[in-house]
Amino acid sequence: MGTLFHFLPINLLAITAFLPNALIIKLHYQAIVILFIICLMIALLTYMLFYMYFKSKHEKKHVKWRIISDLLIRKAVFYDDDDEEAETLIPVTKRAEKLMRNKHFRALLTAEILSAKKNITGTSAENLIHLYQQLNLEKYALKNLKSRYWYIKAKAIQELTVMEMKEFQTLLYPFTNNHNELVRMEAQTAIVQFQGFEGLRFLDIIIYPISDWQQIKLLQQLSNVPPVYIDIDGWLKSANSSVVVFALKLARNYHRFELHDLILSCLDHPNPEVRLQAIHCLCEMYTDETSDQLISRFLKESFRHQLAMIKAMQNIGSEKDILFLLSLLDDDNHEMKLSAARALASIGKSGLTSLQDHVKSAGYPLNEILMQIKGELAA
């Protein structure tokens, strides 16, 4: 502490001789605090200078890496081999080969190749796959499949899928039933991309639910391949409710009318989502008796399912259903009244006449509903 006072412009030791002890202690404390703040600011400034220096150096290095990877990808995309039978290699510079030992450069190059592959097709896409294999990048993806971190596994599966590494699909198949949702989704997407409808065999083994979003993705994938006959019966009886829901969507999308009775049995499934999907399915795949089956279960269902049934009857309703639909016009819910009125109008002349006769005695709000429906019919 004496060293600090030695450099101050006023000799505090002389002054403190005339000051109370409490004030002396306070001055000492303030000097220590000031010194600490000065040291802290110097340390912070030094850290910021070093951080900016290394960040600048890192960014310059990444710019160089990106240029090298871009040149390599351009070579691959525009590579044209005249000798189709020969096993030729895409030219790779010595510097790029040396950098391949660096995991950070490999990660950057792999990301660039994946990005390019997603946006091109044809020979250029095949050349990128050739480059990917030539650089043995797939071995790093396979290594990542064994990682204990789910996000590394998911990324590796996605990488192998984009690069069309079909030869590894047997390694990916077990991941379709992985406990992590994102890993499962990537693996299921991969198997369907590689095998089309045949890839749906994972539905036989999965015990985890298929999310609504994943079902949409799978159906979209399947829409890009020629439809083939697959056995859906077993999936409609699956203990996994989400598999049953997905099977119902498949049956509906691909018009599997022979499954009508199995679909009808799903109306008694304990899971409400299965029952709802079965109603939607029967809206397009029905017989003369389907509406009777819906009506017999109507009172047991929730309002959401009842409304779906009535909307289905706009498609499948007939004259024998008129009395039931007329009874719903007295329901307290406006949406139910409107749906029942639409179903009556869709039956034909007899249904519309019955609706008009009922409105005459009922008045508001059915008179306005009738005007709305007539407007819809005229449009």
Give 318-356 pLDDT, tens digit per residue. 999 999 999 999 888 999 999 999 999 999 899 999 988
CB 254 within 8 A of CB 226: no
Is residue 26 scored above 70 in pLDDT? no
Task: Give the angle 107-110-116 at the CA atoms, nearest 5°.
Answer: 140
Q: What pLDDT does residue 11 have?
A: 54
Token pair 């994946």 is at which residue? Answer: 114
Is the sign of the CA dihedral 161, 165, 167, 171 positive or negative?
Answer: negative
Q: How far apart are CA 270 and CA 275, in angstroms?
A: 8
Among 80-84, 98-102, 123-127, 160-164, top mean pLDDT goes to 160-164
Name the pLDDT band for 24 (thresholds 50, 70, 90): low
Phi, psi of 33 (to 5 degrees): -60, -45
Query: Residue 7 gets which letter from DSSP?
Result: T
Q: What pLDDT does residue 239 have?
A: 96
Whether the ω angle into residue 365 lies within 30 degrees of 0, i.e. cis, is yes
Give the SS3 label for residue 174. helix
Among 10-19, 48-57, 240-249, top mean pLDDT goes to 240-249
Which amino acid makes up residue 148? R
Distances (CA, A) of 58 to 14, 102, 112: 54, 14, 18
Rg (CA), the chain: 36
